[in-house]
Amino acid sequence: MKDKWYKSAFPLLIKVGLLAVSIWFLYQKVDLNSFEGIFDHLPDQLWLIVIGFWILWVLNLYFDALFWKKVHGMIEKVRLLRALKINLICYSLNFVTPAQGGDLAVRYVMMSEASNRKKSFFLNLWMYLPKFFARFIIGGIALGVLLPFLEIADVGLSFLLTFVFCSLLFFAYFSLKKIQKKLQLKNIRSFKLEHYLLDGRPTGIEKARFLGIAMLRFLTFNGQFALILLLFSDGDLPSHIWLAIPVYYFVSALLPSFAFADFILKSAIAVWIFEPITSNEGLLVATSLSLWFANVALPSFLGLYFILKTDLYRSIKTKFSRRSPNET
């Protein structure tokens, strides 16, 4: 009993610990005076930057909806607007639930056929795996280019390390099918994993498509971050700052956090990553807070509308409390 409690509480303790460390780090590093004058040097192309930011925001939602449409399509065909609706509801529930619990429940309930609901956990896995690899691949390439700028390593060594790192990532990503085949032959207690996995899916082409969409979506984050920095900065951004942005998201992918307090952890990471490049901590915190509001809080509020409109809570409670006859 104690072991079960420990296993369930450990991820929560990690997130709470990281949040506490982030607050302490920001308290030590950020001077409140650094927030003064942020809005004093707005660029002449203000509206162009704002429009560009919200275009990238729309593309972010579009690529994620397209992603779920393709992943969901391995079992059932789904329209792009329905995929967007499902994602918005997931964003909203993830905002208040730990470990993407709401995400799993929503994608389970939203399956049209009861017999396919067991496969929803497999689909959810493939909703996250390509995004994880995309961050590491693009972040690794950016880090390899950034190292010579910071005089940490020479060009030849950086190229070699980047090539090896990305090659291993691509090999691991496209070798996941072999691991899946081995899992299909095993059981976890009374659960037969073959009932929860899709035999032979995703194919190599589907994996490449998933990774490509994930990379495009990841680049929208980078573009938004750069535009917010450009909005609050006095002058143009140096090239090494553009390279540091994917590294920032690369590190962020390694550290779990609560969605409602994600901007605190992201602010601490931004100050740590960009400290050798810029000393304006207030700018970095303001950028992280702006991105959190646009990409986390706002989509969550939009998802709340669909939750209230569709009475989703009752659907989740009903479908998880009583098994459908087709699922037994």
How far is C-alpha 279 from the chain's CA centre?
27
Distance (Å, whole) CA 317 – CA 41:
52
pLDDT of residue 322: 42
Half-sphere exposure of 1 (CA within 13 A, CB side): 0
Distance (Å, whole) CA 229 – CA 285:
10
Domain spans of the chain, in order of start: 41-320
| Token pair listed for 175 | 């070798």
pLDDT of residue 324: 43
Kindly tell me if the per-residue pLDDT of 206 is higher than 60.
Answer: yes
Share of the chain above pLDDT 70, in %: 77
- pLDDT band at 235, cuts 50/70/90? low
pLDDT of residue 205: 92
Average pLDDT over residues 2-15: 65
pLDDT tens column, 266-285: 999 988 888 777 667 888 88
User: In the chain, what's the furthest Cα-to-Cα distance?
Assistant: 64
Tell me phi and psi for residue 37, to 5 degrees. 80, 10
| Token pair listed for 3 | 């072991």
Contact criterion met (CB below 8 Å) for 190 and 196: no
Kindly tell me if the per-residue pLDDT of 168 is higher than 70.
Answer: yes
pLDDT tens column, 110-164: 777 766 777 778 888 888 899 999 999 999 999 888 888 877 788 888 899 999 9
Distance (Å, whole) CA 161 – CA 141:
9
Average pLDDT over residues 87-94: 87
- Poorest-pLDDT segment among 129-138, 179-188, 237-246: 179-188
* β-bridge mates for residue 188, sequence order: 191
pLDDT of residue 181: 61
Half-sphere exposure of 76 (CA within 13 A, CB side): 18
Average pLDDT over residues 171-179: 81
Selection from 236, 234, 225, 241 nearest residue 278 by Cα: 241
- Identity of residue 202: P
pLDDT of residue 327: 42
Mean of all residue pLDDT scores within the chain: 80
Q: Where are the alpha helices (DSSP H) in the chain?
A: 2-29, 46-72, 80-94, 101-109, 120-149, 155-174, 176-184, 204-232, 239-252, 262-274, 281-292, 298-310, 312-321
Residue with the larger pLDDT of the pair 214 and 77: 214
Kindly tell me if the per-residue pLDDT of 192 is higher than 70.
Answer: no
Residue with the larger pLDDT of the pair 166 and 90: 166
Kindly tell me if the per-residue pLDDT of 191 is higher than 60.
Answer: no
Kindly tell me if the per-residue pLDDT of 1 is higher than 50.
Answer: no
Contact criterion met (CB below 8 Å) for 132 and 121: no
pLDDT tens column, 284-311: 888 888 999 999 899 989 988 888 877 6
Kindly tell me if the per-residue pLDDT of 45 is higher than 70.
Answer: yes
Distance (Å, whole) CA 249 – CA 239:
17
Handedness of CA 9, 11, 17, 19 (dihedral sign): negative
- Most confident range (mean pLDDT) of 8-17, 89-98, 161-170, 234-243 is 161-170
Distance (Å, whole) CA 319 – CA 301:
24
